[in-house]
């Protein structure tokens, strides 16, 4: 990734892991946000902190993904059963 020095405008080349690089012409320290670290922090923060209190609860705990899949499957089967019964008796 290339960028210009903030002091003298000389071209700088950052690798993906560099956050700081010293200019070869004027010696100024130039910072560059580490994109890998920013993305990694974003996803770890998202996993550790729920976005909202909305969710499916069983008793007083939040349902796990497999439990949610079972609940949704049950609701779909019940809905389809009702539709079939309506067509049979109407």
List, for residues 17-43, the tens digit of each pLDDT value.
667 778 888 988 877 666 566 666 666
List, for residues 43-55, the tens digit of each pLDDT value.
665 555 555 556 7
The structure tokens 């349902």 sit at 63
What contacts 20, CB < 8 A, 6 or more positions away?
29, 30, 31, 32
- Say if residues 30 and 6 touch (Cβ distance below 8 Å): yes
Give the domain ranges of the chain.
1-49, 56-90
Calculate the average pLDDT of the chain. 77
């Amino acid at each position: 990734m290339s960028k210009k020095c903030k002091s003298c405008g000389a071209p700088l080349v950052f690798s993906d892991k560099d956050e700081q690089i010293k200019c070869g012409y004027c010696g100024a320290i130039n910072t560059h946000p580490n994109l890998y670290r920013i993305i990694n922090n974003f996803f770890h923060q998202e996993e550790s902190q729920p976005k909202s209190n909305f969710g499916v609860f069983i008793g007083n705990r939040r349902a796990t993904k497999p439990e949610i899949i079972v609940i949704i499957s049950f609701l779909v089967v019940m809905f389809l059963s009702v539709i079939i019964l309506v067509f049979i008796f109407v």
